[in-house]
Amino acid sequence: MTDKEKADFYSKIGANIKAAREKKGVKQHVLAEMLGLSRASVVNIEKGRQHVTMHTLWQISTLLSTNFSDFIEGLSQHMETKVETQRMKFDASFTTQREKDAIRKEIEQFFETLNKS
C-alpha cells in the first residue's frame, strides 16, 4: 500500500468516526475525555492524520453504541479495486496456476467476510 493509499484509508475511517460521533450528538472533547485522549488526537483521527488502533476503534464503537463495522464501511470496495490492481501485478510472480488460484480464493473469501459484516 502506498503512502497515498494509506492516507485515503485512514481518512475514510476518520470520516466514518466523525459521522457516527455527530449522529450521536457527541462533541469531540467529550469523546476525547471518554477515550482518555486529547481533543487534538480525536481531531487528527477524524482527519486521518493519526492512525487509529483496532482497540480504539472498538472503544469508540462501544462508547457511541454503534457497530464496529460502520467505521470500515465503504472500505471493502475501495480495497477491492486496489487488490484487483495488485492481482494484475502478482500474476507474473508465481510459477503455477495452482498457487495463483489459491491466493485469489483467499483474497475473495476475505472480502466476502468484510461484506457480510
Residue 15 has pLDDT above 80, yes or no: yes
- Contact at 8 Å (CB) between 41 and 50? yes
Domain region containing 89: 75-116
Both 45 and 12 in a single domain? Answer: yes
How is residue 8 written as a grid cell? 485515503
Q: Where are the alpha helices (DSSP H) in 1-117?
A: 3-23, 28-35, 39-46, 54-63, 75-90, 97-116
Which tens digit of pLDDT belongs to each residue from 86-116? 665 655 555 677 777 877 788 888 777 777 7
Give pLDDT tens digits for 56-72. 999 999 999 998 888 88
Q: Which residue has the higher pLDDT, 107 or 39?
A: 39
Same-domain status, 13 and 64: yes
Examine the pLDDT at 78 and tell me if it is beyond 60.
no
pTM for the model: 0.66
Number of domains in the chain: 2
Q: Of residues 75 and 24, which shows the higher confidence score?
A: 24
Higher pLDDT, 52 or 75: 52
| Cα first-last separation, the chain | 23
| Residue 56 shares a structural domain with residue 9 | yes
- Rg of the chain's alpha carbons, rounded to an integer? 17
**Shared domain check, 57 and 15:** yes
